Structure 1
């Protein structure tokens, strides 16, 4: 009993530190009650234009914590993040619209993060699972610069299917085969344009994505990626990415589960 009370007090303390003495406890209570309801619920955050939709009793609250509370895509305090911001500003000053491709959009929270950080960018958010897409459409409705795409990312335009449909909503994996999911290449999604950011969290499919057709790396400023060797030991999941990235001068930053590869050279 005492352990549960301490855990709850620690939770309230965390959210209070994040959002202040009024909003913090309110958010903690809403998350607790909503997660136990096992139904979709909304969470209102200060300065956000619309409520966040989450599914109670799922991993959605953990995704919310990682992306919007712990801010695991935020590298603005690093030298690499400052250089990325300079390139974003330079693109806008030149009259070009920065492009961000979000591979593995899940319920749209990473799309919200990028839309708020880079409001002048066009963001293409790609997600293969229908249940995730239904929540993502709600979450991204208030962000007109985000376009949600039903599909997966692959090294070739191939039909895909989800191999673990009973997995947690953030752990769906796709494979090439007789499926109904459209597999898009980065070249198809970007249509040859320069890319500011490619964010990749695709549960091991990076092994396929980087085995061929990787010329798009030359016109990308930043690759934000979660690698999955921990999930597939001895499968060499990260090796195609490591080989691909080794041929390009880069600098690396790290935050949470993600590595951020800023491409060096003139931009």
Structure 2
């Protein structure tokens, strides 16, 4: 997540809000957003078609997360062939009376959980976040979505004890490291309990290096992996290599939106 707030506000200013929400709600929402960001306090952004307000901490990366996830719709691939196939698989599971499972690794303030809950309302969503302050905001944002379960922790390739390596970072940039910390590190197998997975969303600030280095059998029962890679953040360390090696062993198709890559697993589903 390296785009600047100036870029997003230029691209998604008043004209964007008016087009999105109309001549009355659009300017109101734009003003609410602008004043809230400047306040440097917790504020509620009320969107016309949302069941509950979106809570953001003004003057922090929360506002950029909102723009990327909900305004720019960074996880929306519904207009691609891969997105249409994912929807078909979701509908098939519902018709078969099987609840789809989505695992949100790096939930931050819960906005990706909001997005998935709105677009896959019958799915069970497990949202994992290591930072307690982010979890507090996420719990407010997800109150209206009972199909989302918040989990305090990180994701790793083995059950682990983790800690925040950079506690002074922006709220969207916390990195975890293995050690004697008090944050539990869960495997995807633990979170999924061995069940088939519709989507695993991964935005974990470089921890993908550990997540995909071993114990990746869960990929065989996953339909889609949505991932942001972080080689740009950790140059010369091969952060993405374990993922690239793991995904190479699974037939797939790939599409891209913004910072995210979407790997749709091929084969019978």
Q: TM-score range by the shorter chain?
A: over 0.9
CA distance in 2, matches of 1:257, 1:20: 28
Counterpart of 2:3?
Answer: none
Contact map agreement 1:229 1:236 (CA 8 A) in 2: yes
CA distance in 2, matches of 1:30, 1:94: 43
TM-score, length basis structure 1: 0.96
TM-score, length basis structure 2: 0.95
Counterpart of 1:155?
Answer: 157
2:136 alignment partner, SS class: helix
Deviations 1:162-186 (A, max 9, x none): 0000000000000000101000000
CA distance in 2, matches of 1:9, 1:259: 22
4+ residue runs over 3 A deviation: 7-10
Say yes or no: does 1:216 pair with 2:218.
yes
1:207 alignment partner, SS class: helix
Counterpart of 1:30?
Answer: 32
2:181 alignment partner, SS class: coil
Instruction: List alignment gaps of at least 5 residues for structure 2.
Output: 1-5
Count the aligned residue pairs: 262
| RMSD value, Cα | 1.3
Deviations 1:198-226 (A, max 9, x none): 00000000000000000000000000000
How far apart are residue 18 of structure 1 and its match?
A: 2.1
- The structure 1 residue matched to 2:197, chosen from 195, 198, 202, is 195
Contact map agreement 1:18 1:69 (CA 8 A) in 2: no
Contact map agreement 1:151 1:184 (CA 8 A) in 2: yes
Q: Which moved more, 1:104-113 or 1:43-52?
A: 43-52
CA distance in 2, matches of 1:69, 1:146: 21
1:222 alignment partner, SS class: strand
1:175 alignment partner, SS class: strand
Change (3 A) 1:78 1:10: closer
Deviations 1:75-106 (A, max 9, x none): 00000000000000000111100000000000
